[in-house]
Amino acid sequence: VEVDGPSHYLRNAAESEDFVENGSTRLKTRLLEGFGWTVTRVPFYEWNRLHSETETRRYLEAKLGNRTTGFAAQCPRA
């Protein structure tokens, strides 16, 4: 799981509110995937919208799917 803060993204606020991964973040993802890892991103702009433990748990379960049974239940909201 890769938790990505604002420094992982580029954005042109004048034209769009969409975030795009920067070059070093894309490279790191390609390298990890090249070694056989599955990278799951948790962008700060999605994480910051979660307001309760229930929302956080549902978000993580949706992101991780069945790859980590019980993982979300063990992760407290930071």
Complete DSSP assignment for 30-52:
HHHHHTTPPP-EEEHHHHTT--S
pLDDT of residue 65: 84
Q: What is the pTM of this model?
A: 0.69
pLDDT of residue 1: 79
Euclidean distance between CA atoms 1 and 52, whole angstroms: 20
Euclidean distance between CA atoms 65 and 78, whole angstroms: 21
Helix count and strand count (H, E) for the chain: 4, 4
pLDDT of residue 50: 94
pLDDT of residue 75: 57
Which residues of the chain are under the pLDDT cut of 70?
Answer: 13-16, 66-78
